[in-house]
Structure 1
């Protein structure tokens, strides 16, 4: 791409990278798709993060050495990719140019910073749970007020040595005042989006659901009911299960504040 424009884009990206401060950035695909959808064989770990990077900025020639990214490694990644194309506007594929790539990277970095604020990750009992939410827009409520629709994706990765079955989930939704705006009790028979998936060791199950909030922000936290399978027989009601916490994550309209209601 033309050198002055390349320098301007690189400088803009490096300024954005500085906002990371002392934190780290895990790459994510923004939640989308219909509420209630699921994937029983989702990518996990580094494979998932690299797929998220390719989705956001196709055709990068230099990829991260390690993930998640800190400010230094993110800055090095930006500089390395811009050095390759600073002297011309190369066509990458299907008319997609390095100029397009630079602007895509600028948009993607802003979105990834937002998704980082709307995510949580934890591992307990050998079960890793990653959640990311995203504001989808405003819509009218039955009360006549304006509501805010959020989509969230829950990813469950089995780090145990045997298969597990995810039986159900419970949610607490708290608004900006600290009031409980929504509650779903944990019941091992209530399933997740109608599913009680069996997750083999090292595999990931993910599903998408959503909430409609009365104000532009809130917090969700929850629990999963999980059992480790003995052989191939699925869980039966009355048998033992254990609880895995879902760490709190924000429901947040970009550059806004507020409260919450709803759940799924």
Structure 2
């Protein structure tokens, strides 16, 4: 059997820095091509990685067994549903969508077509954090989690390639980095059964979560922290004391691990824990938090 063919939808910084290099370097797949909303950018990215640019997204679907998506979430969702209907397995970015209806459409399309899916929540695939998450979920007995992701994309003088992203400007850290921390908290502490939220400075959001295990979690999310304060971390407290999530790096290798996870799901028919249904649940939690946001006290 020939190597599975995986196409890429998206040509922005995340696609160029992570998805395309990982697909081109992966020994188990054929990088079948690139489609983007800007054909000239697709042509440039495809040429850099010795693959083909497509101006017709349906033609890329036809030439691929699976597609990876690196697009704004509410652009991603309808295209992912369309790809699933064409028989392509899905390697999605987080969040799957910023509306429950959008995420539900993708999940329904994947189920209806019988395709496999993985949502690339980095902490679930990074070599530094993935084993730690599995270990803490297995240990159990956790009472409390404290988590934060303080980015400085919107800080004065930011030179980040992601700072001009319209959807990040609109939706903020809640939707951009919130999925990462939730993707750790749910497998470790159990289903979220209650959500409260309050707004902080800039786009900052503070969450208070109740989990099915009885544990609680506090989460702070921001893309507008001062550069000197930029940091991400997660701590657990429980019967065995305290556990601190290790650091992680190398997004390309992490994405390669997500590709491996999708290939395994396709081969075995066993859904991955971080599949589109999990992505739908993340969107449901974030939408609830957004609906309950109260302004910060003056």
Q: Which has the larger radius of gyration?
A: 1
Higher helix share: 2
When normalised by structure 2's length, the TM-score is 0.25
Q: Which has the higher strand share?
A: 1
